[in-house]
Structure 1
Amino acid sequence: MAKQSSPVTDQETRIGRRVNRQVSVLLNEIEKEEVPDRLLELARELQKALGEKA
């Protein structure tokens, strides 16, 4: 059974654009954050363990 698509309203389009902008701003801010040394250490240990498993 095919799903019927209803037309997107102008308001929904504006809301979608606003959400996209907000997500973009948040992602940019997250990328600027410094990664804690402990998190990097854990990532290296995980990478090493996965390499040994292969």
Structure 2
Amino acid sequence: MAKQSNPVAEDDMRMGRRVNRKVSVLLTEIEKEEVPDRLLELAQQLQKELAAKQ
């Protein structure tokens, strides 16, 4: 049975673009946040452990 493709309605496309913009703005704001020192230490420790396993 062949899959039918339905054209995306213009309203749905506009909604998708709005959501994409909002997500983009949120990600930009998140990237501006400071990373706690403890989280950085854990990430570095994880990198060392992963490198040691290779």
TM over 0.5: yes
Given the alignment of the two structures, is residue 51 of structure 1 paired with residue 48 of structure 2, yes or no?
A: no
Q: TM-score scaled by structure 1?
A: 0.91
Q: What root-mean-square deviation, in Å, do the aligned CA atoms of Structure 1 and Structure 2 show?
A: 0.9
Aligned identity (percent) is 72
TM-score (norm 2): 0.91
Task: Name stretches of at least 5 consecutive residues in structure 2 with no aligned partner.
Answer: none
Question: Which aligned runs of 4 or more in structure 1 are off by greater than 4 angstroms?
Answer: none
Cα shift at 1:16: 0.4
Q: Could you list the runs of 5+ residues in structure 1 that have no partner in the other structure? A: none
